[in-house]
Amino acid sequence: MDEMGTYNINSANFDNIIEGYADKKHEKFIKPAFGRGCIADIPEIVEGMINGTERANLNGKIPIDAMDSDHVIVLILDGFGHDLFMYATEKYPMKNLGSLLRESAYFPITSVFPSTTATALFTVYMGLQPVEHEIIGYTQYIRELGTVCNMLSMSPIGNRKNDLISAGWMPEPLKGRKSFAKRISDSGTASFIYLPNMIKESGMSKITAAETTLRSYYSTSHMFTSIARDVKEARGKSIHIGYVPSVDTMSHKVGSRTEETALELESIFYNIDMLKESVISTNTTLLISADHGHVNVGTSNLFDISKDRELYNTFRAPVVGDARAAFLRIRCGSMDEARNHLIERYGENYEIFNSLEMLKEGYFGDRKENTNINDRFGDLIMVPRRNIGIIDSNLTFLDPKMSHDNMVGMHGGLLREEMIVPLIITTI
């Protein structure tokens, strides 16, 4: 399968593409490929499809007949990594996925860093790179509030039901910003967002789905039925952005390289096949991608950083981010002590990055060099070199729902399994 090929999958055919995303300075790591093949490019790709232009055409990889569509359906399948795709198609029949791919362009692209849902979805929904929206993980220390926040619920940790958006607070980088869907709708294209009913009122949803038509759903078949109806009833051009979390849930609980997760993925593509039949002859393009993949870690491979009291005493705030991308804030005057300790004790298994250097080197985006990081990105970042992770149990005392008990798959880091995701494009 070449970059625009068919379903005859051979992993060697993807190696050159993925190698092009490799971090030249750090072995085994993948660097976000902004502008060359990254989920951050999806908003411009979709805009090009609607407007008939070649914005973010990824060097000609986007099918020509997709560049002048009346309707564009974007599906973000949480946790659908390229690694899962390869495993599933090699081990199981995957008839519905295979049927779609015979008529589609498939090529691997990168996630953003950290490769985690909050960072990735703000990137796609807002059309902003992480350096611009400054959302850096599942948890984040917000200096102006003096607290750690859950960045999906947008609430102080341990208080998920009371989101800060409803109370009138907005992250500084997002003030006055319109979502990608809202910007398109302002130009006359109808915009729809489809979210599970259980998260339609989350703080994140109140930002990313603001001023668009929000459809909540109770099952994936419910979502696909709603999309088909909206496409057929649309007057003029339209975009439809659907988010499906079930593959991520399965990967967290049983692992990504499992029969259960593969068959969950196949059930989604069964619904996609039904969707195609429902909206045929509507000049519609379907784009499928993901926020991240998964690395199988397991709780036995998690390190509780709060147990290292010598190191923890150099911190000025709890460790935030994700289990595979830990953001550290260091007390004034303790930077050398903390960095030397980290390298000496943990350097074999973790890469220790300076946050400002990562910003300058483009890990968080290439649209601007943000040297005034406003404490959002911390001082040091620990990224695992293998299938291990980091937790701060002091935070789980505040929010027991953050527990990693019985969790297998994890993400957030820079390994291939979590960083490389599919981009599938087909016209209907």
Read off the pLDDT of residues 97-131 as tens digits, 9 standing for 90 and up: 999 998 899 999 999 999 999 999 999 999 999 99
Read off the pLDDT of residues 381-420 as tens digits, 9 standing for 90 and up: 999 999 999 999 998 877 777 777 789 999 999 999 999 9
Domain(s) of CATH 3.30.1360.180: residues in the chain: 300-406
Question: Dihedral angle at the C-alpha atoms of 36, 41, 42, 44, nearest 10 degrees?
Answer: -120
Q: What is the mean pLDDT of residues 369-378?
A: 69
Cα–Cα distance measured from residue 246 to residue 87, given in angstroms and rounded to the nearest whole number: 17
Domain with residues 12-296+416-427, CATH architecture:
3-Layer(aba) Sandwich (3.40)
Q: What is the mean pLDDT of residues 310-325?
A: 96
Neighbours of 103 (CB within 10 A): 13
Q: Is the pLDDT of residue 376 over 70?
A: yes
Read off the pLDDT of residues 130-189 as tens digits, 9 standing for 90 and up: 999 999 999 999 988 999 999 999 999 988 888 999 999 999 999 999 999 999 999 999
Topology classification of domain 300-406: Gyrase A; domain 2 (3.30.1360)
Domain(s) of CATH 3.40.720.10: residues in the chain: 12-296+416-427
Cα–Cα distance measured from residue 185 to residue 180, given in angstroms and rounded to the nearest whole number: 9
In Å, how far are 113, 328, 335, 422 from 377, measured between CA atoms?
A: 11, 9, 15, 27
* The pLDDT value given to residue 374: 60
Q: Is the pLDDT of residue 283 over 80?
A: yes
Whole-number CA gyration radius for the chain: 21
Share of the chain above pLDDT 90, in %: 78
Q: Average pLDDT, whole number, for the chain?
A: 91
CB neighbour list of residue 183: distance below 8 Å, 6 or more residues apart = 127
Look-up of token digits 């999958």:
9
Confidence label for 369 from pLDDT (cuts 50, 70 and 90): low
φ, ψ for residue 78, nearest 5 deg: -55, 125
